[in-house]
Amino acid sequence: MAKVTRKPLISGNWKMHHNHFEAISTVQKLAYILTKDDYEAVDVSVHPPFTDLRSVQTVLEADEIPVALGAQHCHWEDKGAFTGEVSPAFLAKLNVTYVIVGHSERRELFGETDEMVNVKAKAILKLGMTPIICCGETLEEREAGSTDEKVAGQVRAGLAGITPEQIGGLVIAYEPIWAIGTGRTASAEDAQAVCSLVRATVSEVAGRDAAESVRIQYGGSVKGSNAVELMAQPDIDGALVGGASLVAEDFAAIVQYHAAG
C-alpha cells in the first residue's frame, strides 16, 4: 500500500529531564545539526518540563529556530484551585503548539482516565493548540490478545464530541506501554498494524477525510537505527521519542531519517 503524503511530525518528549540550562543547550545543539532540508521534510517539536518552557520558547523565537514548542501535560480548566496543575491557557500564552495528552505514564502512574484525556483534548483545541492523544496497551493486554480492543477504545473515547474537522488536524500517538523505556520496540509490521487500526477507528468516528488527514505517531524506544523502517510504514506519520530525544545528536539522527531512507 502506498504511503499517503502527510508531513511527518517527530516529537521529543523530555519527560522529567533537563533543567532550563540543559534544555537551552539541547535546543541550540539541535538547531546547529538540523538543516533547512530537514525542516522542509519533517515537522519537529520538543516537549520540555514546565519549568523549561519559557526559556526554550525564548531561544526558539529569538534565534528563529523552526522547531515547535510542546508541553507534556495540562489540566482541562483555564484556571482554578488545582494546586500543582498547569492551565492550557498558560501554555497558549507561551506559544505552545502541541500538548501531549494521556501519555501512558500519566495514565499508569497518575490515574488519568479516558474521560480526562477527552476533556483535556477539547480544552487544548479551544485554545488553538494541537493535542497529541496517546494510546497503547500493556504487556499483559498484548499477551492476552486485547491490543485492538484497548487501543480502539482509547481512540474512540479520546475523540468523543470532537468535530471531524478538528480530528483531521490532530495527532494520535500509538505507544505500546511495554516498549517505553525498555529498549524493546514493536516490529515495523506490528507498529503498522496498530497504527492502521487507529486510522480505521478514526474513520469510523469521524469519516474517511479526517482519517486520511490525522497524523499518527509511533512511540516506544524509537532510535536512529530503527526510524527509517518505522517511518516507511504507510500509517506511521511520525514518532513520539522519549530517551533518544534527550541528546541532540541522537534526536537529530531520528529527524534525519528521511535522508537515509
Neighbour-count burial for 139-166, b at 16+ CB within 10 Å, e otherwise = eebbeeeebeebbbebbbbbbeebebeb
**CA neighbor of 100 nearest in space, from 244, 252, 242, 261:** 242
Q: Is 212 a catalytic residue?
A: no
**CA neighbor of 129 nearest in space, from 198, 189, 63, 69:** 69
Among residues 73, 103, 105, 112, the one annotated as catalytic is 103
- Report the alpha-carbon distance of residue 194 to residue 132 in Å, rounded: 17
Contacts of 188 (CB under 8 A, 6+ apart): 226, 229, 230, 232, 233
**Interhelix angle 147-159/114-126, nearest 10 degrees:** 40
Contacts of 37 (CB under 8 A, 6+ apart): 259
Q: Is 258 a catalytic residue?
A: no
**CA neighbor of 152 nearest in space, from 206, 194, 119:** 194
**Interhelix angle 224-231/248-255, nearest 10 degrees:** 20
* Radius of gyration for the alpha carbons in the chain, expressed in angstroms and rounded: 17
Among residues 105, 112, 137, 175, the one annotated as catalytic is 175
**CA neighbor of 247 nearest in space, from 25, 62, 51:** 25
What amino acid positions are annotated as catalytic residues?
103, 175
